[in-house]
Copies of this chain bind each other. A is one copy, B any other.
Amino acid sequence: MVDILHRVGMKDASPDEVYAALTTIDGLSRWWTVETTGTPEVGGTVSFGFGTDGFDMLVREQVPGKRVLWEVVEGPPEWIGTTVRWDLAQADGYTIVLFGHEGWREPVDFMAHCSTKWATFLMSLKQLVETGAGSPAPDDVRISDWH
């Protein structure tokens, strides 16, 4: 099993603000993809669309201001069964996001692509929380031929 890990800090933002961006359709659609639908509650499923592609996440844990855990139930074969974890902490005027997309079976090139792509979406989340405007798909940062 191999994991993608990231750490980003949101300046002058509270954990509750970041948590809201991870647990509401409005928040999620402002930094990841405008095509976000579903029920962001424990036991519910949230669907994230990217044109003809997309992912469905089963919400496994939500602890206000602290933690969100999703399990991928639909999407590319490499993603099925992996988990996406968001742990929030506070440090020096920042809310820290410790992110993990964990449980990949192999360190394939697609995982390397997703690692870079997650970093750009985490920067989009940071910009949303700090400035009020993120860069969700379809206006996300293009990083390669794989988009």
Contact = CB atoms under 8 A, between A and B. Distances in A.
Contacts of A5: 4, 107, 111-112, 115
B3 A116 contact: no
Nearest to A92: B145
Most buried by B among A6, A99, A100, A146: A6
A17 to B, nearest CB: 16
Most buried by B among A92, A96, A122: A96
Contacts of A133: none
Nearest to A94: B145
B115 A119 contact: yes
Contacts of A144: 7-9, 94, 96
